[in-house]
Copies of this chain bind each other. A is one copy, B any other.
Amino acid sequence: MPDRKWLPAAVRSAAVDRTLKAGEALFRVGDKAAGLCEIVRGRVRLVRVDRAGREIVLHVAGPGETIAEASLFAVAYHCDAIASTDAMVRVYPKAAVLAAFEQDRGAAQAFTATLARQVMGLRARIEQRNIRSARERVNHYLVLNAGADGRTVKLPGSLKDLAGELGLTHEALYRTLAALERAGEIRRDGRKIRLLRHRV
């Protein structure tokens, strides 16, 4: 979702690039909110760590996406951002972005719309997390993430990563995928999954 186009040139020029190795943190919960982050290359996940030390994946952002929008209005970050792969991130300083919103009404409005879309996305994720059955949850994900043809899903990373994003253990995900394939619901082909019985 390339949703950075609305950033005025003044903000763009104030940006700072940062490279991250896989596993490295872009920021941690409690860090002072520096600004808006755009993923240039690689993937970065937003997570919270629960009391038992497990990661809860809130979002996985790829190239073109921005993260930490909500932090523009907060003093500190309220979750961790960890690079899932080697990554490059462009950070637009908070002050510059907010100043741009003062000047450029269109930018402010586009940003608001982005937030609104994010709210909907988060609601979809709540819906997903409410599904107890691993099978249904995986199906839900596959249908939601089917490509243009509505029948092919390209996995962005490892199955283990996907398990985290789905809120399942990796074992449960492997078993579920195997069961779906045995049942003739899907066909796996490397990093791609084809939905066989799903009408477009």
Measured CB to CB, the residues of A under 8 A from B are 48, 50-51, 56, 58, 69-70, 72-74, 78-79, 101-102, 105, 108-109, 111-113, 115-120, 122-123, 125-127, 129-131, 136, 167
Closest to A58 in B: B123
Interfacial chain B residues near A111, Cβ < 8 Å: 112
Top 9 nearest A-B pairs by Cβ distance?
A122-B122, A115-B115, A70-B116, A73-B116, A70-B119, A129-B129, A56-B130, A112-B112, A73-B113
Question: Is A130 touching B74 in the complex (CB atoms < 8 A)?
Answer: no
A48, A56, A120, A122 — which one has the most chain B CB atoms within 10 A of its CB? A122
- Distance A120 CA – B108 CA, assembled complex (angstroms): 19
Question: Is B127 touching A125 in the complex (CB atoms < 8 A)?
Answer: no
Question: Is B120 touching A78 in the complex (CB atoms < 8 A)?
Answer: yes
Question: Is B116 touching A126 in the complex (CB atoms < 8 A)?
Answer: no
Question: Is A126 touching B126 in the complex (CB atoms < 8 A)?
Answer: yes
What's the number of copies of this chain in the assembled complex?
2
With A58-B123, A130-B129 given, is the CB distance from A51 to B136 under 8 Å? Answer: yes
Question: Is B113 touching A167 in the complex (CB atoms < 8 A)?
Answer: no
* Sampled A-B contacts (30; CB under 8 Å): A48-B123, A48-B127, A50-B127, A50-B130, A50-B131, A56-B126, A58-B126, A58-B127, A69-B119, A70-B116, A70-B117, A70-B119, A70-B120, A72-B116, A73-B116, A74-B120, A79-B123, A101-B109, A101-B112, A105-B105, A108-B109, A112-B115, A115-B119, A118-B119, A122-B122, A122-B126, A125-B126, A126-B126, A129-B129, A129-B130
- Distance A79 CA – B74 CA, assembled complex (angstroms): 27
Interfacial chain B residues near A70, Cβ < 8 Å: 116-117, 119-120
Interfacial chain B residues near A109, Cβ < 8 Å: 101, 108
Closest to A131 in B: B50
With A108-B108, A108-B109 given, is the CB distance from A74 to B116 under 8 Å? Answer: yes
Contact of A122 among B72, B123, B131 (CB under 8 A): B123
